[in-house]
Amino acid sequence: MSLIETRTTSAMLYLDGVHVSFDGFHAINNLSLTLEPGEMRAIIGPNGAGKTTMMDIITGKTKPDKGEVVFDGSVDLTKLDETEIATLGIGRKFQKPTVFESQTIEDNLLLALNVDHRVRGTLFWRRSEPESKRIDRVLEIIKLGDARDRLAGNLSHGQKQWLEIGMLLAQDPKLLLVDEPVAGMTDVETQQTAELLKEINSHDKTVVVVEHDMTFVRELGVKVTCLHEGTVLAEGTIDDVSANERVVEVYLGR
Amino acid sequence: MTPHILTRSLNRGALIFLLVVAAAGILLPLSNLLLPESSALHVPTYLISLFGKYVCYAILALSIDLIWGYCGILSLGHGAFFALGGYAMGMYLMRQIGSRGVYGNPILPDFMVFLNYKALPWYWYGFDHFWFAALMVLLVPGLLAFCFGWLAFRSRVTGVYLSIITQAMTYALLLAFFRNDFGFGGNNGLTDFKDILGFNVQAEGTRAALFMLSCLALAIGFLICRSVVTSKLGKVLIAIRDAESRTRFLGYRVESYKLFVFTLSACMAGVAGALYVPQVGIINPGEFAPGNSIEAVIWVAVGGRGTLIGAALGAIVVNYAKTVFTSGPLAPYWLFMLGAMFVLVTLLLPKGIVGTVNAWLEPWKAKRLSRNAESAAREDGVIKPNMAE
Ligand SMILES: Nc1ncnc2c1ncn2[C@@H]1O[C@H](COP(=O)(O)OP(=O)(O)OP(=O)(O)O)[C@@H](O)[C@H]1O
Ligand SMILES: [Mg+2]
């Protein structure tokens, strides 16, 4: 880090002209996207539009063939690996909920806490009051306080989704990437998840939410980006986007 | 090691295990040394050496369980670290022979004189000192594991591919150590040891002491493994085992964790080999045979992967069976039996002996816990009316 940060953009997340192809198949095509600090953005798009691949690029799982991916105005994410990107403060919830199934809910959160993640730190780690308090707080928010000692593998699909959101909270990142958070949830849970994400966003967190559920997206009430074949098809309010002819076309099929 | 990481590692099972190891480590040598041979409780010296060998295997099994059971790294080349530790000890024992060898050369071991070596190769320097050899017992396997792991884990070689290259590693070492010009005694290896720290390796007292030390090493190795797996690092290891890439997205440097346990595990395997060699009296390239490493993995599977105690138990049970069968008429079929045992355990007891017993005890343990909670609640109830009076 240089003393004078050379910000190239004021954006929290800035993607420009990103291309990714898998064996000649262009999954991401000239994708450009900008998120301001503290913004929440909903991403919609039909299956295979490249939403998850976009998150893979931001989190370092997939390297773009071309294009710029800049975090916090100055960090070139294409040069970093998953660990470094996570350490910078980018957290992710996966489309298929991925929790540590053979460990307890509490341990899942403990592992997610943004404390010293180096070998020595974890070997000599001991439970501390502030850490326990944070875990209790997250357990309360995700309503799994009574289940803290249960194995994460025994949770229902919806509960796993919440646990993973809880892990994001424990991780306390600057930028949250949330892939299909309400799949497998009841209407009430969906509603609660929307509230929770809005709450998180209100604490100055930048959030990207990918979701198919339109009621949920409407509930969030934020700017919507529609992806199709790896590129931005439309951007604007949910009403603008759902009225957009091309969006209607890709959703209904040509 | 700070105390909190030790104390938290001691649960009931761990304490029982340590007690059993301590009892064996003290009582067997005492009975061997103090009781008359006519006594029914007298343990003959050959059994002490045999059990000592099992204990060394148990340490090797622990080291494999640490990486395989807790971090999902299936090494099929751990015999290499065991053998390297053994060679380091063997080199010390060779240098202790001095001029008592067949050729009477005070510096050069017999095989070097036989092969017309003019001087001691540089890599044999220092092995006349016990402290140096002891250091090498840890350092050589540790360094090899570190370099190997650094390359493999950084390039994210996992699963079957990793297992295959560990096999290749031990096989390459096997070929190298077979060569006479490699300077480690070729296919005969190192043998005809005389003294260790001034004591005759054949003497009853020395054998009893070596057995005791092996038990001590097993106990210490077990404590180290328990400390590791019950720390937060242990939770990270399990996370890596179950969902490696997820762990990266939480900001853990997975390769550093793997490198740490892999190196630690190799050092443990080296110690096991070093204790093994004076008790069996020989180390030769056969110890690098890929089959040995696979056998060691089978011990862990039989005893129960990811339980530590199971690994140690598996090593002892399988090797005891091996001793029984290979000394009887069934000897030629031992490998088939080992294979059958592996298949049966995988099919019938996928969690191994200890894992299965733990699963049986689970409901019972839960009941005990809830009973405790219940009685605590009842006590509360008793106190309240009293206070109301
Ligand atoms: N590692 C990969 N190798 C090959 N093709 C891939 C890979 N990852 C994604 N793809 C392809 O890229 C396209 C975009 O996939 P992606 O998972 O990003 O879509 P999505 O918008 O998340 O869809 P969904 O709504 O179904 O989750 C798909 O056609 C997919 O098959
Ligand atoms: Mg997707």
pLDDT in tens, A91-150: 999 999 899 999 999 999 999 999 999 999 999 998 899 999 999 999 999 999 999 999
Residues B314-334, mean pLDDT to the nearest whole number: 90
A226 lines ligand 1 (CB under 6 A): no
What's the mean per-residue pLDDT of chain B? 92
Q: What is the pLDDT of residue B388?
A: 36
Higher pLDDT, B311 or B39: B311
pLDDT of residue B385 exceeding 60, the answer is no
What average pLDDT does range B233-259 have in this prediction?
Answer: 97
Confirm or reject: Cβ of A52 under 6 Å from ligand 1: yes
Helix (DSSP H) and strand (DSSP E) numbers for chain A: 10, 10
* pLDDT value, residue B367: 75
Q: Where are the beta strands (DSSP E) in chain B?
A: 190-191, 195-196, 199-200, 282-283
Whether the per-residue pLDDT at B373 is higher than 70: the answer is no
CA-CA distance, B330 to A58, in Å (whole number)? 61
What's the mean per-residue pLDDT of chain A?
92
| A20-32 average pLDDT score | 94
- Rounded CA-CA distance B285/B177 in Å is 6
Note whether B206 and B194 are within 8 A (CB): no
Mutate which of A47, A58, A63, A228 for ligand 1? The one with the most ligand atoms within 8 Å of its CB, which is A47
| Position B366 in a domain | no
A52: Cβ contacts below 8 Å, ≥ 6 apart: A95, A179, A210
State yes or no: pLDDT of A2 exceeds 60: no
Q: What is the mean pLDDT of residues B116-138?
A: 96
Closest-lying ligand 1 atom to the alpha carbon of residue A53: 18
For residues B155 and B143, give the distance between their C-alpha atoms in angstroms, rounded to a whole number. 18
Name the closest-CA residue to atom 28, ligand 1: A48
What separation in angstroms does the CA of B220 have from each of A78, B146, B262, B268, B276? 45, 22, 18, 10, 16
In a domain, B377, yes or no: no
SS3 B51: helix
Q: What is the mean pLDDT of residues B353-357?
A: 91
Taking residues A75-95, what's their average pLDDT?
Answer: 95
User: Quick one: pLDDT at residue B56?
Assistant: 98
Domain range for B238 is 56-200+234-350
Closest-approach residue (CA) in chain A for B251? A83
Backbone Cα Rg of chain B: 24
Q: How far apart are CA A67 and CA A49, in angstroms?
A: 18
Q: Do strands A40-44 and A25-35 pair parallel, antiparallel, or not at all (unpaired)? A: unpaired
Q: Is there an atom of ligand 1 within 6 Å of A193 CB?
A: no
Domain-embedded: residue B1: no
The residue whose two tokens read 């954006």 is A11
Give the count of domains, chain B: 1
> Residue B387 — very low, low, confident or very high, per pLDDT cuts 50/70/90?
very low
Scored b (16 or more CB within 10 A) or e, B283-311 reads bbbbbbbbebbbbbbbbbbbbbbbbbbbb
Q: What is the mean pLDDT of residues B299-317?
A: 96
Give A195 Cα–ligand 1 centroid separation in angstroms: 29
Taking residues B232-253, what's their average pLDDT? 96
- Model confidence at B9, in pLDDT bands (50, 70, 90)? confident
B336 belongs to a structural domain = yes
Find the closest chain A residue to B5 by CA distance: A124
Q: In whole angstroms, what is the distance from residue A89 CA to residue A110 CA?
A: 17
Q: Which of A9-13, A77-81, B48-52, B70-74 has the lowest mean pLDDT?
A: A9-13
Do A40 and A201 meet the contact criterion of CB atoms below 8 Å apart? yes
**Ligand 1 binding pocket includes A225 (Cβ within 6 Å):** no
Q: What is the pLDDT at residue B376?
A: 55
**Cα first-last separation, chain B:** 53
Mean pLDDT of B135-149: 98
- pLDDT greater than 90 at residue A85: yes
> B389 falls in which pLDDT band (50, 70, 90)?
very low
- Residue B146 belongs to a domain: yes
Q: Which atom of ligand 1 is nearest to the CA of A22?
A: 4
Ligand 2 centroid – CA A88 distance (Å): 24
ipTM of the complex: 0.92
Cβ separation A123–B232 shorter than 8 A: yes
Helices B45-71, B254-280: inter-axial angle, 10-degree rounding: 170
CA dist., res. A143 & res. A216, Å (int): 20
Q: DSSP assignment of A110-145, as one string?
A: HHHSSS--SHHHHHT----HHHHHHHHHHHHHTT-G
B315-344: burial string, b at 16+ Cβ within 10 Å, e else:
bbbbbeebeebeeeeeeeebeeebeebbee
Q: What value does the mean pLDDT take over residues B199-214? A: 96
Alpha carbon of A179 to ligand 2 centroid (Å): 7
> Per DSSP, what are the bridge partners of residue A27?
none
Residues of A in contact with B4 (CB under 8 A): 126
Q: Retrieve residue B334's tokens.
A: 């031992």
The encoded tokens of residue A56 equal 């893979």
Contacts made by residues B159-168, CB under 8 angstroms, sequence distance 24+: B159/B74, B162/B73, B162/B74, B162/B75, B163/B74, B163/B75, B163/B76, B164/B76, B165/B77, B166/B75, B166/B76, B166/B77, B166/B78, B166/B80, B166/B293, B167/B76, B167/B77, B167/B290, B167/B293, B168/B77
Please give the residue that has the higher pLDDT: either A117 or B8: A117
- pLDDT band at A239; cut points 50, 70, 90: very high
A151 forms beta bridges with A104
Nearest CA in chain A to B258: A119
* Cβ-defined contact of B235 to A107 (cutoff 8 Å): yes
B328 has pLDDT over 50:
yes
Which pLDDT score, from 0 to 100, does residue B378 have?
55
In order of A88, A181, B218, the CA distances from A196 in angstroms are 23, 11, 51
Q: State in Å: Cα B103 to ligand 2 middle.
A: 75
Nearest Cα neighbor of A31 from A44, A48, A14 is A14
Burial status of residue B358 (CB atoms within 10 A of its CB: 0-12, 13-18, 19 or more):
middle
Beta-bridge partners for A63: none
Ligand 1 neighbour A53 (Cβ under 6 A): yes
Helix locations, chain A, DSSP H? 51-58, 82-88, 105-112, 119-123, 129-141, 157-171, 187-202, 214-220, 238-243, 245-252
B291 belongs to a structural domain: yes
Share of chain A above pLDDT 90, in %: 82
Is A96's C-beta closer than 6 angstroms to any atom of ligand 1?
no
The distance of A113 to chain B (nearest Cα, Å) reads: 9
B357 in a structural domain:
no
Q: For residues A195-221, give the mean pLDDT.
A: 93
Is a pLDDT exceeding 60 seen at residue B341? yes
Residue B278 CA: distances (Å) to CA of A6, A131, B197, B208, B218: 64, 50, 11, 12, 16
User: Strand, coil or helix: what is A35?
Assistant: strand
Check: CB of residue A164 under 8 Å from CB of residue A97: yes
Q: Of B4, B242, B251, which is closest to A86 when you measure between CB atoms? A: B251
B205 domain residue, yes or no: no
